[in-house]
Each structure stands twice: as C-alpha cells, then as structure tokens.
C-alpha cells in the first residue's frame, strides 16, 4: 500500500523550507500564532511523558533487551547538551584569555603616511583550538574519575548501585568510550565501570531542555567543579608576574603552545596528555591549577594512561560529526519524536538481523539506526557485548574511524541487502515533514485503512499544520521571543 509518494514529500519539503525561512527572518507576527499566556499555555516540547517510560529490564539478562524510546530520547537531549557546550566554549572570551588567545591586528603605514589596521585572519582559527583543549582536560578528569570508581566495592546488584554522578565533561568522555566497545572491552572488562549502564534517568534530571544547560543535583556537586567553570576562571588564578622564564613550547598533539607575558608556562596550552608543567611551578597556586597539573603529570608519565588518553581524546572529537547531525535533524523537538524513535528501534533490530545473516559484510547504519546503536552501546560494556552476541551471534565493534570511501561503498551494499532481505527503502530523509507523513501512514495502516479510505489531502494538511507550529515554537525559542500557544485541536 502506497499512501505517500515522492511528489507529496517534495511538496512538504519545499513548504517546510519556506516556513523555516519566514519564521527565522520574519517579524513578531510572522508565525501567525498567539503568544502563550500563563504557564498552562506554554508549550512543553518534548512532552515529559516520553522520558517516563518504564525500562523493561529482565533481571536474568539485562543485556538481552534493545534500548527504549525513553533512553533514546534522553540520548538526544544529551547530544544537544554536548552541542551547546561546544558552542559556549568556542564563543567564550574568558577561555580565550586562559588559552592566551587574543586579536593580533597589525597596523601598516602607507606611502602617504596613512595608517590602516589589518584584520586578524587567524583569530577564529586559533579560537577553534579551545574545544580540543577542553576535551584534553575532560579526558584527564575522566581517567581520574575512573580510577576513583575502581576503588569502590563492587555491588552484588549493579542495578541498585548508587555513585555520585560525574560532571558533564567526564560524562562526555565516558559516553565516547562506550561508543568504542572494542577499546572499552580492552581496557575495562575487569573493572566496575564495565558493568555500569549509562545513567540515563539521572542525566535527564540534570538537563534543562529549554536551553540545554546541565546542572548536577545538590548531593553530587561537591564531587568536582564543572570544567567550563574551571577553564573560564583559569587565567584569573595565574600570577600576573612570574619569575620563571618563558618555557620552550611543550609538545601537544593538537596545537602549539600559546604565548603570554605573564606566566605563560601555566596557561592552558602547557597542559597536555603528553607533558605538563613541573609541579614545583604550581605548588603555591590554587587547587584547581595544581590538581590538574598533577593529573596531567600522572598521565604523561604513565605510558598506558597516555596511550588510552590520546585514544579517548580522538574518540570524543570524532563524535562531533554525529552530534552535528543530530542537532541538524533536531528530532528532540520534532512533533513525531516518539514515532521516529519507535521506528528507529525497529530498524535497528532489523539491522542486527542483517548483520547476523551477512557475516563478513561491512554494514553501514543510517543516522536513525546509528542513534539506537549508540544507545545500545551505552547500556554498559557487558550488557552490550551480551546483547549483541545473542542477536548477531558474535561481538560487534562500532568503528567510527573509517574512511569516507569505505563508508560510501558499505552504505550502498547495505541498501541493496536491506531491500532484498528486509524489504522497503533503507535510506530515510529524517526531516520533520517526512517523519510526520510516516507517522500518519503508520496510523492508517494500524487502523486497517486502505488507500481509498485515506484522505491524503487531509493527512498532508494535518502534517503541515503540526510541523509549522512546532517550528514556530523552536524559532521563537531561538529568537528569545514569547512561545506561541498551541492552537485548539492541534
């Protein structure tokens, strides 16, 4: 039964592009909706109910289940938090100072004596080094947290084990570690962390999804200071005068050291996973600086830690591409969020079956399947290994470092195998309009309606109206304007 077609989807796409452009560039009344009055009219997107689904974990084999819609939704929330965090860091003038990054504008005098100040074309490029440096510090703090976690007594029941939730930077590295299951298995299979599932519900409770900020609960805030706060205030703790001569630039695997007249040896670029300032230089400095100097010193002088640290640093940076894709689709704000995730989980199940049937073939997931695959890996090292072996018949690594050409060929092969062995189209657009159409089609099929019984004009109109409203809410949120009230019957 074909209830949707290419021409219908193209029409929705064109309409959607026009609406998005109008909402983001138009005036106050462009959305055509009345502003919400009072808390009862303010739209809550995503709906809180989607995060409250019961996780169906069997006591005998928690690894046997697939991720739930709730877990995938919280995963999307966390990816938005990571996206916003990176943007904050790249825009932070305070971290610019801590990195020794400043405008270098050269003034030149012409032959007539006229002076002209040239633009600093390197400034934005130099600012981009802040994110890799943040990740370097995050890796050092994660390795320290992992060491502390290993000292805890292994509980008899891992599901009831409670531990202080780590800071966002540590969670980010832990997340990327889990998404490299072979690396995680190699380094952690005999540790407590290998049995721990990612704490989705606790993470959800820390996220404000109106602005994607993250705040640890009061009982966990004593664990560690957020890394963003540490790096933002770093420069203010460095003595303005230093008797130490400027050091030889220290090696770093991402950028050369920055220059600064006052204690350049204590600016952020001097702290790397391969070297760190001598502790004697930092003994009289605030705890934030001296503690991190100690962490970097331990890692730099311990070859296994240094090797793992570099691997984790690369793993976190590789996740940037996937995070950007999820931000672009923005399913977490979509009117069809639940149906999108339900479909993705079903498609992931079929993807695992395809792996089982085609041993030796490299299969490449679509972004929706990849989201669920990532969420599955976050069920914990042992749970993932158990679950994937049960469904595929073998351990499956997730290699996110393949060349583009290899991925392109693998995606083409996967599409052919999917059509032959699963049926239907493998590739998905993923835009809100198409997801809305799929949701309506699935509802019609579930109700047992045939093509003749479905009024496609009415279906398209419902999708257009619903998607337009959700886009208007998101546009208002981004422009910091009052959110529109939901129209009656929508």
CA distances from 109 to 103, 113, 121, 136, 168 (A): 19, 6, 19, 42, 49
The mean per-residue pLDDT over the stretch 49-59 comes to 68
- The tokens describing 276, both together, are 């760190």
Strands 107-109 and 115-117 turn out to be antiparallel
Which pLDDT score, from 0 to 100, does residue 43 have? 94
At 276, is the pLDDT very low, low, confident or very high (cuts 50, 70, 90)? confident
For the cut 50, the answer to whether the pLDDT of residue 277 exceeds it is: yes
- In this structure, what are the phi and psi dihedrals at residue 235, rounded to the nearest 5 degrees? -60, -30
With a CB cutoff of 8 Å and minimum separation 6, the contacts of 257 are: 247, 249, 250, 264, 267, 269, 270
- Closest C-alpha among 320, 409, 431, 414 to residue 9: 431
Residues 193 and 307 in one domain: yes
The mean per-residue pLDDT over the stretch 155-167 comes to 85
Q: Is the peptide bond before 282 cis (omega within 30 degrees of 0)?
A: no
Dihedral, CA of residue 355, residue 357, residue 363 and residue 366, to nearest 10: -70
Distance between CA atoms of 183 and 198, rounded to whole angstroms?
Answer: 17
Which pLDDT score, from 0 to 100, does residue 258 have? 38
Query: How is residue 332 annotated by DSSP?
Result: G
Residues 282 and 420 in one domain: no
Distance between CA atoms of 274 and 296, rounded to whole angstroms?
Answer: 8
Residues 294 and 408 in one domain: no
Check: CB of residue 165 under 8 Å from CB of residue 174: no
Q: Is the dihedral of CA 295, 300, 302, 304 positive or negative?
A: positive
- Closest C-alpha among 316, 315, 80, 329 to residue 214: 80
Which pLDDT score, from 0 to 100, does residue 266 have? 81
Q: Which residue did the predictor score with more confidence, 286 or 361?
A: 361
At 16, is the pLDDT very low, low, confident or very high (cuts 50, 70, 90)? low
DSSP states of 145-200? HHHHHHTSPPPS-GGG---PPPPHHHHHHHHHHHTSHHHHHHHHTTSGGGGPPP-H
Residues 423 and 305 in one domain: no
Which pLDDT score, from 0 to 100, does residue 256 have? 37
The mean per-residue pLDDT over the stretch 439-465 comes to 83
- Domain membership of residue 35 (yes or no) is yes
At 245, is the pLDDT very low, low, confident or very high (cuts 50, 70, 90)? very low
- Closest C-alpha among 46, 7, 71 to residue 336: 46
Q: Which residue did the predictor score with more confidence, 304 or 456?
A: 304
Residues 279 and 343 in one domain: no
At 387, is the pLDDT very low, low, confident or very high (cuts 50, 70, 90)? very high
- Domain membership of residue 389 (yes or no) is yes
Residues 204 and 244 in one domain: yes
Residues 285 and 362 in one domain: no
CA distances from 36 to 468, 484, 485, 487 (A): 16, 5, 4, 10
The mean per-residue pLDDT over the stretch 67-85 comes to 98
At 283, is the pLDDT very low, low, confident or very high (cuts 50, 70, 90)? low
For the cut 50, the answer to whether the pLDDT of residue 241 exceeds it is: no
- The tokens describing 108, both together, are 């030149």
Number of domains, the chain: 2
In 3-state terms the chain splits into helix, strand, coil percentages (rounded to 5) of 55, 0, 40
Q: Which residue did the predictor score with more confidence, 121 or 176?
A: 176
Number of residues written out for the chain: 490
- Domain membership of residue 107 (yes or no) is no
The mean per-residue pLDDT over the stretch 237-249 comes to 50
Q: Which residue did the predictor score with more confidence, 402 or 6?
A: 402
- Domain membership of residue 404 (yes or no) is yes
Chain centroid to CA 63: how far?
A: 23
At 14, is the pLDDT very low, low, confident or very high (cuts 50, 70, 90)? low
For the cut 60, the answer to whether the pLDDT of residue 198 exceeds it is: yes
Residues 255 and 151 in one domain: yes
Q: Which residue did the predictor score with more confidence, 242 or 132?
A: 132
Which pLDDT score, from 0 to 100, does residue 236 have? 84
At 158, is the pLDDT very low, low, confident or very high (cuts 50, 70, 90)? confident
At 220, is the pLDDT very low, low, confident or very high (cuts 50, 70, 90)? low
Which pLDDT score, from 0 to 100, does residue 438 have? 93
- Domain membership of residue 139 (yes or no) is yes
- Domain membership of residue 157 (yes or no) is yes
Q: Find which of 293-302, 399-408, 438-447 is predicted with most confidence, using mean pLDDT.
A: 293-302
Residues 230 and 356 in one domain: no
At 17, is the pLDDT very low, low, confident or very high (cuts 50, 70, 90)? low
pLDDT mean across residues, the chain: 86
Q: Is the dihedral of CA 84, 87, 89, 91 positive or negative?
A: negative
At 432, is the pLDDT very low, low, confident or very high (cuts 50, 70, 90)? very high
The mean per-residue pLDDT over the stretch 127-133 comes to 97
The mean per-residue pLDDT over the stretch 36-56 comes to 86
Distance between CA atoms of 478 and 490, rounded to whole angstroms?
Answer: 22
- Domain membership of residue 197 (yes or no) is yes
Distance between CA atoms of 214 and 256, rounded to whole angstroms?
Answer: 31
Which pLDDT score, from 0 to 100, does residue 255 have? 37
Check: CB of residue 223 under 8 Å from CB of residue 166: yes
CA distances from 244 to 3, 99, 223, 252 (A): 74, 18, 33, 21
Distance between CA atoms of 42 and 484, rounded to whole angstroms?
Answer: 7
Distance between CA atoms of 330 and 334, rounded to whole angstroms?
Answer: 7
- The tokens describing 138, both together, are 């995050």
Of the chain, the end-to-end C-alpha distance in Å amounts to: 27
Q: Which residue did the predictor score with more confidence, 306 or 120?
A: 306
pTM: 0.88
Angle between helices 432-446 and 456-478 (to 10 degrees): 140
For the cut 50, the answer to whether the pLDDT of residue 343 exceeds it is: yes
Distance between CA atoms of 300 and 293, rounded to whole angstroms?
Answer: 10
Which pLDDT score, from 0 to 100, does residue 179 have? 98
Residues 187 and 248 in one domain: yes
Q: Is the dihedral of CA 239, 243, 246, 252 positive or negative?
A: negative
Angle between helices 432-446 and 6-25 (to 10 degrees): 130
Element (H, E) at 20: helix 6-25
For the cut 50, the answer to whether the pLDDT of residue 1 exceeds it is: no
Residues 257 and 295 in one domain: yes
Residues 46 and 159 in one domain: no
- Closest C-alpha among 423, 432, 282 to residue 353: 423
Which pLDDT score, from 0 to 100, does residue 63 have? 61
- Domain membership of residue 153 (yes or no) is yes
Q: Which domain holds residue 466?
A: 6-55+336-366+383-478
Q: Which residue did the predictor score with more confidence, 55 or 103?
A: 103
The mean per-residue pLDDT over the stretch 188-202 comes to 95
For the cut 80, the answer to whether the pLDDT of residue 460 exceeds it is: yes
- Closest C-alpha among 331, 368, 335, 80 to residue 204: 80
């Amino acid at each position: 039964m074909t209830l949707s077609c290419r021409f219908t989807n193209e029409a929705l796409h064109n309409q959607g592009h026009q609406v998005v452009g109008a909402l983001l560039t138009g005036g106050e009344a462009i959305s055509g909706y009345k502003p919400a009055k009072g808390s009862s009219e303010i739209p809550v997107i995503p709906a809180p109910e989607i995060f409250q689904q019961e996780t169906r974990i069997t006591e005998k084999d928690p690894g046997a289940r697939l991720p739930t819609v709730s877990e995938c939704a919280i995963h999307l929330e966390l990816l938005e938090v990571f996206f916003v965090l990176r943007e904050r860091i790249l825009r932070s003038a305070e971290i610019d100072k801590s990195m020794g990054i400043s405008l270098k504008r050269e003034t030149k005098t012409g032959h007539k004596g006229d002076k002209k100040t040239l633009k600093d074309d390197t400034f934005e490029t130099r600012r981009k080094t802040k994110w890799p440096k943040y990740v370097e510090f995050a890796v050092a703090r994660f390795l320290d947290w992992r060491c502390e976690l290993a000292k805890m007594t292994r509980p008899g029941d891992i599901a009831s084990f409670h531990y202080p939730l780590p800071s966002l930077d540590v969670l980010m590295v832990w997340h990327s570690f889990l998404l490299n299951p072979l690396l995680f298995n190699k380094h952690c299979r005999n540790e407590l962390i290998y049995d721990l599932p990612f704490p989705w519900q606790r993470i959800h409770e820390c996220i404000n999804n109106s602005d994607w900020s993250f705040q640890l609960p009061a009982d966990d805030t004593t664990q560690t200071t957020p890394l963003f706060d540490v790096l933002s205030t770093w420069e203010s703790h460095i003595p303005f005068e230093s008797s130490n001569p400027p050091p030889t630039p220290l090696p770093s695997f991402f950028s050369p050291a920055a220059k600064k007249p006052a204690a350049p040896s204590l600016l952020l670029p001097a702290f790397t996973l391969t070297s760190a300032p001598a502790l004697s230089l930092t003994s009289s400095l605030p705890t934030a600086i001296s503690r991190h100097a100690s962490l970097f010193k331990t890692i730099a002088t311990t070859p296994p830690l240094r090797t793992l640290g570099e691997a984790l640093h690369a793993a976190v940076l590789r996740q940037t591409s996937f995070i950007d894709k999820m931000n672009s689709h923005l399913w977490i704000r979509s009117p069809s969020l639940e149906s999108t995730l339900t479909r993705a989980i079903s498609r992931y199940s079929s993807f695992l079956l395809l792996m089982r049937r085609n041993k030796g073939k490299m299969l490449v997931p679509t972004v929706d399947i990849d989201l669920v695959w990532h969420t599955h890996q976050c069920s914990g090292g042992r749970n993932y290994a158990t679950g994937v072996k049960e469904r595929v018949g073998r351990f499956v690594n997730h290699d996110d470092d393949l060349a583009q050409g290899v991925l392109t060929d693998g995606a083409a092969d996967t599409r052919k195998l999917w059509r032959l062995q699963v049926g239907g189209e493998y590739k998905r657009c993923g835009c809100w309009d198409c997801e809305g159409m799929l949701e309506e089609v699935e509802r019609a099929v579930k109700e047992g309606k045939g093509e003749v019984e479905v009024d496609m004009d009415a279906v398209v109109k419902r999708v257009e109206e619903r998607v337009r409203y959700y886009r208007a809410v998101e546009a208002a949120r981004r422009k910091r304007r009052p959110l529109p009230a939901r129209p009656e019957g929508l």
